A and B are shown apart, each in its own frame.
Chain A
């Protein structure tokens, strides 16, 4: 170290210039090597040896389906090794006239709308089968044909209203238990915190499973599985780092993280409901709304649990409710306007990472809140809370599944 500084001091004029030149050289050299490698690849084309006359690999993913008075529209994304050409389209095993926008071959990763003036039948199933120029076929099932709602201010407003009902309202109702919960003793506290962990654990499993399912539907180019893992891990680590800047979070900070985790999950739920709107909202009944509401009331109780020993201002509760419930509205809008499975998967994965962070923090809080450490995790009240949390979430989730 001394050696270096002495040399630098001795050669003060030429030193920095030579050093930067040397640095530049070490930047240019690998770049040049890369350039040469590319030139060699292009000139000699060693991949040609592997070419065996096989047709190009083709994949086509259906991202959106819109049913209206003038027929069916589907948005497809190409994921082939080369640009793909749609030659013909069958609907229910019949060749049907169609128009493509934009026309021509669809390059890797890009999308095109296919419009079919097909007289679809309300409430019945239809199958769309796209035939490419190589004869490969890609099928898409419309399970129940219903008109896709058009978007306008009114529909966006009513979606927002629905979002408020499935997100904000139940979280607020859950928080209204706050005064009643304040009087609970140590066991009650253990129970409530464990209940929070339980419900979050359910959401973690649920969100992850859904994220993977949606990732499976997305175009291969998005590498759904890897994307879900990476997004979840990244959001988990990021939130852990942010949350631990001032030591382990507790009180309002911990409640905020719980609200954020739940909010991200509600964003994913909103996307799913929004996608249901986009798909024509077949069967989007009151049970769905009621189910989500019951489901999310528990989330409100979970958010208030770390606040029981404090007495935060009312606006903090409002802000927390908004943070946890508000994203449902945003999710609904995005889901209905620009639905694509990969974006829903991404949102759910980020939410899963956030939920995992909250689970870790709530468990840590539970352990240190009265200095019992890991024994607190095995206390009867904790186990009861965990079980109740998971069971309640499982039970209410049944209401929103077919």
Chain B
């Protein structure tokens, strides 16, 4: 090995040496050339630096820097998990419940990762929009006002008439207009609503989507009443559960049809920095939907545990039992149920198993505790 100044010239280096001095700025080696000669030295040198990366969360240094201004955003990411919009309920002449929701389309710049502002189109000023929750068999009335700058609609994944579809000519309204969607709540399950204005991709990617959950009516499922009651918001059986609304989404900030930020409930790393507190003995239920654009598939993976999965939430028996990973295509959704009751307390991670999504913001932690003080 010949020493040439600070460089070591090896036989390999002589054979492969050569450099694009033309470019001038960054010299690209053909093959690995000289780099090989001090490979081991360089490697140990920078491995030694790795402990430096160990602070902070389980993500180490691989995390966004800073915090999102939630006051400016107008919504708190922690609360998006548990806030359900159940509308206002009145009684119809035939004795059924009439459930009325009010939703407004609003243009709003939101902070999707610390310091990164996104000019969103929102339902009720938040992304995802309000998690609407009804009971199977309710008559639903959704009063939709478009206060935004573009035509918008609400397209519900549910059973309804063509007139209520929220597509051009059926409930797609101009700025300043109002439309009332009316249909019965069925089938029970974990559904979705989103804007169906064109171009579809842009309207969804801008933030116009939300969960639409229809709880089963226990009276209609006599053989599985208990399970149905556990799903029905407001029952003592349901109160036992720790329920969370999670919408997997992404944001293309530079219009290259790829997402710069991935998240569950919009804000990158939000539940990484502030883990979701769960009580060890009480079961957990997640209403999960995938609305990410540009990538066809998203997934959910839980650390240290397995769960049951109810695809679309339209069954009372799991469609997948004892899994630790489910995948969802665009607009696919379902219910995840698990418990940490036999676990020791601690931080348990959840994230999609697309590493890229995880590293670009979509990851979080459950903080399993004995009891909430």
Residues of B close to A214: CB separation below 8 A: 24-25
Assuming the A-B contacts A147-B45, A162-B4, A282-B27, are A95 and B359 also in contact, with contact meaning beta carbons closer than 8 angstroms in the complex? yes
Residues of A close to B61: CB separation below 8 A: 96-97, 117-118
B320-357 CB contact bits vs A (8 Å, 1 = yes)? 00000000000000000000000000000000000010
The answer, yes or no, to whether B304 is at the interface (CB within 8 Å) is no
CA distance A98 to B53 in the complex (A): 11
CB distance from A358 to the nearest CB of B (A): 22
Contact A341 B25 (CB under 8 A): yes
Q: Within the complex, which residue of A213, A283, A344 is in contact with B16, where a contact is CB–CB below 8 Å?
A: A283
CB distance from B172 to the nearest CB of A (A): 25
The answer, yes or no, to whether B82 is at the interface (CB within 8 Å) is no
Contact B19 A284 (CB under 8 A): yes
Contact A400 B116 (CB under 8 A): no
B51-94 CB contact bits vs A (8 Å, 1 = yes)? 01100100001111100000000000000000000000000000
Assuming the A-B contacts A144-B35, A162-B5, A282-B34, are A70 and B19 also in contact, with contact meaning beta carbons closer than 8 angstroms in the complex? no
Contact A288 B19 (CB under 8 A): yes
CA distance A62 to B64 in the complex (A): 21
Q: Within the complex, which residue of A86, A123, A269 is in contact with B21, where a contact is CB–CB below 8 Å?
A: A269
Contact A95 B269 (CB under 8 A): yes
Q: Within the complex, which residue of B6, B22, B36, B113 is in contact with A123, where a contact is CB–CB below 8 Å?
A: B36
Residues of B close to A289: CB separation below 8 A: 4
Contact A88 B30 (CB under 8 A): no
CB distance from B263 to the nearest CB of A (A): 11
Contact A401 B32 (CB under 8 A): no
Q: Within the complex, which residue of B21, B34, B251, B360 is in contact with A90, where a contact is CB–CB below 8 Å?
A: B360
Considering the complex, which residues of chain A in the window 256-282 have a beta carbon less than 8 Å from any beta carbon of chain B? 269, 271-273, 275-277, 279-282
Classify the interface of chain A: helix, strand, loop or mixed. mixed
The answer, yes or no, to whether B1 is at the interface (CB within 8 Å) is no
CA distance A73 to B361 in the complex (A): 23
Stretch at the interface among B7-15, B194-202, B203-211, B286-294: B7-15
Stretch at the interface among A18-26, A153-161, A312-320, A360-368: A153-161
Residues of A close to B275: CB separation below 8 A: none
CA distance A228 to B28 in the complex (A): 24
Q: Within the complex, which residue of A144, A279, A281 is in contact with B7, where a contact is CB–CB below 8 Å?
A: A281
A149-176 CB contact bits vs B (8 Å, 1 = yes)? 1000011001101100000000000000
A213-229 CB contact bits vs B (8 Å, 1 = yes)? 11001000000000000
CA distance A118 to B117 in the complex (A): 25
CA distance A323 to B62 in the complex (A): 51
CA distance A147 to B46 in the complex (A): 9
CB distance from B296 to the nearest CB of A (A): 18
**Which of under 10, 10 to 19, 20 to 34, or 35 or more describes the interface residues of B?**
35 or more
The answer, yes or no, to whether A242 is at the interface (CB within 8 Å) is no
Q: Within the complex, which residue of B24, B36, B63, B361 is in contact with A271, where a contact is CB–CB below 8 Å?
A: B24
Contact B42 A146 (CB under 8 A): yes
CB distance from B69 to the nearest CB of A (A): 12
Q: Within the complex, which residue of A137, A141, A158, A275 is in contact with B6, where a contact is CB–CB below 8 Å?
A: A158
Residues of A close to B29: CB separation below 8 A: 143-144, 282-283, 402
Assuming the A-B contacts A94-B62, A123-B36, A159-B5, are A402 and B254 also in contact, with contact meaning beta carbons closer than 8 angstroms in the complex? no
CA distance A118 to B62 in the complex (A): 9
Considering the complex, which residues of chain A in the window 360-402 have a beta carbon less than 8 Å from any beta carbon of chain B? 399-402
CB distance from A304 to the nearest CB of B (A): 26
Contact B39 A283 (CB under 8 A): no
Residues of B close to A287: CB separation below 8 A: 14, 17-18
The answer, yes or no, to whether A59 is at the interface (CB within 8 Å) is no
The answer, yes or no, to whether B318 is at the interface (CB within 8 Å) is no
CA distance A303 to B53 in the complex (A): 56
Residues of B close to A159: CB separation below 8 A: 5
A188-224 CB contact bits vs B (8 Å, 1 = yes)? 0000000000000000000001100110010000000
CA distance A115 to B79 in the complex (A): 34
Residues of A close to B256: CB separation below 8 A: 137
The answer, yes or no, to whether A46 is at the interface (CB within 8 Å) is no
The answer, yes or no, to whether B47 is at the interface (CB within 8 Å) is yes
Contact A88 B115 (CB under 8 A): yes
CB distance from B338 to the nearest CB of A (A): 28
The answer, yes or no, to whether A3 is at the interface (CB within 8 Å) is no
The answer, yes or no, to whether A236 is at the interface (CB within 8 Å) is no
The answer, yes or no, to whether B178 is at the interface (CB within 8 Å) is no
B214-258 CB contact bits vs A (8 Å, 1 = yes)? 000000000000000000000000000000000000010110100
A71-89 CB contact bits vs B (8 Å, 1 = yes)? 1000000000000011111
CB distance from A183 to the nearest CB of B (A): 37
Closest to B253 in A: A135
Closest to A292 in B: B21
Residues of A close to B49: CB separation below 8 A: 69-71, 117, 119
CB distance from A299 to the nearest CB of B (A): 16
The answer, yes or no, to whether A298 is at the interface (CB within 8 Å) is no
CA distance A132 to B5 in the complex (A): 40
Contact B115 A272 (CB under 8 A): no
Contact A137 B260 (CB under 8 A): yes
Considering the complex, which residues of chain A in the window 326-342 have a beta carbon less than 8 Å from any beta carbon of chain B? 339, 341
Interface residues of B (CB under 8 A from A): 4-7, 9, 13-14, 16-36, 39, 42-43, 45-50, 52-53, 56, 61-65, 113-118, 251, 253-254, 256, 260, 268-269, 356, 359-361
Q: What are 24 A-to-B residue pairs whose CB atoms are below 8 Å?
A: A70-B49, A88-B64, A88-B114, A97-B62, A98-B65, A118-B61, A119-B46, A119-B53, A122-B35, A133-B117, A135-B118, A137-B260, A143-B26, A143-B28, A144-B35, A147-B42, A158-B6, A272-B21, A273-B21, A276-B19, A276-B27, A282-B27, A283-B31, A402-B20
Top 10 A-B residue pairs of the complex, sorted by shortest distance between their CB atoms: A285-B17, A135-B253, A158-B5, A87-B115, A94-B359, A283-B29, A283-B33, A282-B29, A143-B28, A272-B21
